[in-house]
Structure 1
Amino acid sequence: MRHLLLIILSLLAFEAGAQNLLVNGGFEDENICTEYKHNCAPEAWIANSFYANYYYYTPGQAYKGTHFVGLASGTAYQKGVHNFIRTKLLSGLQPGHQYEIQFFVRSRHDILDSVGVYFTTTDFLYEKRRHNELSPQLWATDALDTLYEDPSLWQKVRLHYTATGNEQYITIGCFNRREYRFRGMPDFNRDYYFFLDEVTMKPLDPAEQLSAQADSVKAEIYNENERHEYLRRQIYVRSKTPPPPTILPITVMRIGLPPAPLQRIDTLVIPDIFFATASYQLTDRSHSTLDSFVNQLQGYTIDSIVVEGHTDSVGKLAYNEALSRNRAGAVKDRLAAGLAPKQLPFVARGYAYLKPIASNRTPAGRQQNRRVEIYVYRKEE
């Protein structure tokens, strides 16, 4: 059996002092709308909802502070109702550079796998296509430890994005391509929500800084006070004749700062045949492969190890989620035993059939999709 061993170089260093490209990501600054003179929305962020149904002031329930956002991902008695929230970046991005997007989410519905991050050149508010026709560049599920959590607990999402240089706006929402069957009482009125808080976006390279015009861009963003009916009228006019996109001044590189150190990502794919049929029990053959992989890692400084389990589309989602999660856990346990006594941060995730690499319509494709992927992040020697 061929073993797929990939070594990928990626800029993954992150400085806590890196400058945030987003303003008011904690939603603490309140916008006073032009129409009702009321603090019914966060500054800098505008949702495609025309109602005061997405901004929450609930001390003790926010991840941090007192404010957070709730975005509808479906509604009772009607299909296709989704809310998104967007903001403008403070600076344009450097093509090919990497950025870290971080935020916190929670929901009592199994919809977090469809929460996406969508970068656009033009304002998302004037987008004419439906949400199920759009493909966000990043998905929250790629960074969640599990798709199911206590709904009172916030889950951290941390994603890396490689810029094209055309990004002006960032939008977050539920981009699912199918309508979920929600159960139980709606979260607000007839709507079912996921909740969002503490959104940040920072360059991975500490030498990359905001442009000199960032303060004036922030002032322009904060001056957007149209909400409700005024916003509806504005969208109606501008969706017919969209304004030309404004070009943001791009970030600048500070001279004298050291470049971001490289990390290596060692990736091993464990195929389905290394497990007992429809089970998460590892076969003897898999032990030698995993032990060999562990031996290659001896002597390296390892930052973290992520193990992700995947299945084909045969069977129910809940069954496949459990199987993929248990297979990832079995591989993690074998690796941890071989790397002992090192204390390493391990993450094991199960994605069921939500991240296929081949078509599930053929036996060969389904076999490719049944896999466990291991990502080992270690410092470059």
Structure 2
Amino acid sequence: MKVPLVFCFIFLGIQAWCQNLIPNGGFEDENICTEYVRNCAPEAWIATSLHANYYFDAAIMEHTVAAHGGTHYLGITAGSLGMVGIRNFVRSRLLCGLQEGHQYKLVMFVYAQTPVLDSIGVYFSEQDYLCEKRYFRHIVPQLWSIDGMKRSAEDTRNWKKVEWLYTANGTEGFITIGNYKRIDYKGINKTDTRSEYYFYVDDVSLTPVDSTEQLCPQADSIKSAIYLENERHSILDRKIYALRRQPPPIIPLPKTAEKKFKIQKIDTLVIPDIFFATASYELSPVSFHLLDSFANKITTYQVDSMIVEGHTDSIGKLAYNENLSKNRAMSVKNYLVNKVADLNEKSVTRGFAYLRPVASNSTPKGRQMNRRVEIILYREE
């Protein structure tokens, strides 16, 4: 069983895909079934029947349909020329529970060689659809593709993008896709395999409309547990039979999390040169009270970083003033990090000599203002 690494780049489309509440929505991760030890199904997705093939790999199979993305896609039985009421549904467990009243965007790409796209249904359920005892004609999906198709666009490969906005009721645990039309289609003479006709699905995503809503912290572990469901074929048939006789208790999924934005504040303290010995970087005792008071405040903050900058007036050579400004900044930093735990690794010192004056160096008062150390503290609130 392959569990690939997923890298999220800062592109809007990919970033949204990384918030996908549906595992393996592109069907590229292959499941190795327990019974035949073959990659005959996608991870996370289980069909209600495996008597008909539903997993296609365009890279190795001679088929008329190329995948919308990657090489894999699903083919879902929409009906049969030989038998009435033949359907196949595919379901997957969601990675997180949905927030009641919140909206989610569901997107998928569909294709069919027959006119069946108007009857694709999407059904959200609290219980696993594999436990469902009702006939599909008695189930009403929350979403129909006829609504999504009104806003869809056809690309050059005939895949149609179907997009809905879904308002959650807060009980959703599974998503199921299939043809929920109660009456079989008339006038279809061409089949996809044997006597059955299909519609195809690729690149399914369910993402929160609110950008501050994120995947729950347990999403990775839930995905790993979903990927461990390796029952397919006759083992799956026996599992479905047992589940329908005695459905397991419903275990609600942890809800999506709201991203908390941190407010950053910047505090600045200016230390004049009177707190240093003349022409020295040694702190004078009169500076201790000010620095102790500042250190006490720091201990109450959640500090991101601290920058300590030293500055001088323009008297003297640049090299001398650079060393003096750096050393004074270092003296202040060392004093504070000895007072505040874990501050050292968050601190940076800089010396700018006389290159960043705040007043004119042509007067004694201006030069005194330029001789200073500035502490810039970045903290979260």
Please classify the TM superposition score into its range, dividing by the shorter chain length: 0.5 to 0.7
Q: Deviation digits for residues 207-258 of structure 1, max 9, x if unmatched?
A: 1011111111001100000001000001111101100111111111011289
**Alpha-carbon distance change, 176 to 151 in structure 1, aligned in 2, over 3 angstroms:** farther
> Residue 143 of structure 1 aligns to a residue in which SS?
helix
Hey, what's the Cα distance between the residues in 2 that align with 1:136 and 1:186? 25
Matched residue type, 2:25:
G
Partner in structure 2 of residue 79 of structure 1: 84
Partner in structure 2 of residue 30 of structure 1: 30
Rg comparison, structure with higher value: 2
**Cα deviation, residue 186, structure 1:** 1.1
Partner in structure 2 of residue 377 of structure 1: none
**Alpha-carbon distance change, 98 to 150 in structure 1, aligned in 2, over 3 angstroms:** closer
**Cα deviation, residue 145, structure 1:** 3.8
Hey, what's the Cα distance between the residues in 2 that align with 1:45 and 1:193? 17
Partner in structure 1 of residue 51 of structure 2: 51
Hey, what's the Cα distance between the residues in 1 that align with 2:262 and 2:132? 40
Alignment of 1:132-171 (within 5 A): 132-145=137-150, 153-171=158-176
Alignment of 1:163-312 (within 5 A): 163-256=168-261
Stretches (4+) displaced over 2 A: 15-18, 145-152, 182-185
> Residue 142 of structure 1 aligns to a residue in which SS?
helix
Paired residues, number: 244
**Cα deviation, residue 183, structure 1:** 2.2
**Cα deviation, residue 190, structure 1:** 1.3
Indicate the percent of aligned positions where both proteins have the same amino acid. Answer: 48
Matched residue type, 1:219:
S
Partner in structure 1 of residue 273 of structure 2: none
Q: Is the 8 A contact 1:108 1:151 kept in 2?
A: no
Q: Which runs of 5+ in 1 are unaligned?
A: 1-14, 259-381
Hey, what's the Cα distance between the residues in 2 that align with 1:181 and 1:149? 24
Q: Is the 8 A contact 1:22 1:201 kept in 2?
A: yes
Cα RMSD after superposing both structures: 2.1
> Residue 219 of structure 1 aligns to a residue in which SS?
helix
Partner in structure 1 of residue 134 of structure 2: 129
Q: Deviation digits for residues 174-205 of structure 1, max 9, x if unmatched?
A: 10021112422310111100000000000000
Hey, what's the Cα distance between the residues in 2 that align with 1:96 and 1:148? 28
Hey, what's the Cα distance between the residues in 2 that align with 1:132 and 1:84? 13
When normalised by structure 2's length, the TM-score is 0.61
Hey, what's the Cα distance between the residues in 2 that align with 1:167 and 1:50? 25
Q: Which runs of 5+ in 2 are unaligned?
A: 1-11, 60-64, 264-381
**Cα deviation, residue 77, structure 1:** 1.5
Hey, what's the Cα distance between the residues in 2 that align with 1:136 and 1:33? 29
Partner in structure 1 of residue 344 of structure 2: none
Q: Is the 8 A contact 2:151 2:163 kept in 1?
A: no
When normalised by structure 1's length, the TM-score is 0.61
> Residue 74 of structure 2 aligns to a residue in which SS?
strand
Hey, what's the Cα distance between the residues in 2 that align with 1:89 and 1:150? 28
**Cα deviation, residue 148, structure 1:** 11
Q: Is the 8 A contact 1:71 1:84 kept in 2?
A: yes
Hey, what's the Cα distance between the residues in 2 that align with 1:129 and 1:150? 37
Q: 1:89 aligns with which of 74, 94, 115?
A: 94
Matched residue type, 1:243:
P
